[in-house]
Amino acid sequence: MGIFFIILIIIFLCWPWITKWLRGYMARRAEDMVRRMAGMPSRKEEQKRRREQERQQKRNGFSAGSTRGRNRASTNGKDTDSIRSMQEYAEDVEFTETKEYSETEIIEDDGKGNRRVYRESQVSDAEYIEIKK
């Protein structure tokens, strides 16, 4: 019985740290779930990729103690990665809507003389022109 009270007192005293850890754990899980749904790599995969890039930069002559290498890796590395990915996936396209619409009309009658009309219209097709440089 005494051990139970000691464990209970320890849990009571450590409760702020326990809740902080649980909130962080749940936030990390939620972030991983959102990343997975968006098709992005998980945080672990991103950390592995970052470590591998740092290893390659060290092999290419950038030392960890060098401020020039550190600044170049921290600022330009992120910018060039984002620019490279944008150039890789981006397409310059001009979209124009066609005049062909499909429309659905729903009439709801509640029996008391009140009518509700729901109309939905949607473009069925779009034309586009690809812009190449």
- CB under 8 Å to 101, separation ≥6 — which residues? 121, 122, 123, 124
In the prediction, which pLDDT does 21 show?
94
pLDDT-based confidence at residue 75 (cuts at 50, 70, 90): low
Whole-angstrom CA distances from 66 to 30, 32, 56, 69 are: 37, 34, 15, 5
Q: What is the pLDDT of residue 73?
A: 47
* Mean pLDDT score, 77-103: 67
- Among the residue ranges 6-15, 29-38, 58-67, the one predicted with the least confidence is 58-67
pLDDT (mean) for 11-22: 94
Average pLDDT, stretch 67-86? 60
Q: Does residue 120 have a pLDDT over 50?
A: yes
CA-CA-CA-CA torsion sign (56, 75, 61, 86): positive
Please tell me which residue, 129 or 6, carries the higher pLDDT value: 6
User: What are the phi and psi torsion angles at 36 (to 5°)?
Assistant: -60, -40
- Give yes or no for a contact between 31 and 23, defined as CB atoms under 8 angstroms apart: no
The mean pLDDT of the chain is 77
More confident residue, 75 or 50: 50
Verdict on whether the full-model pTM lies above 0.85: no
d(CA 58, CA 68) in angstroms, rounded, equals 12
Confidence bin at 118 (pLDDT 50/70/90):
confident
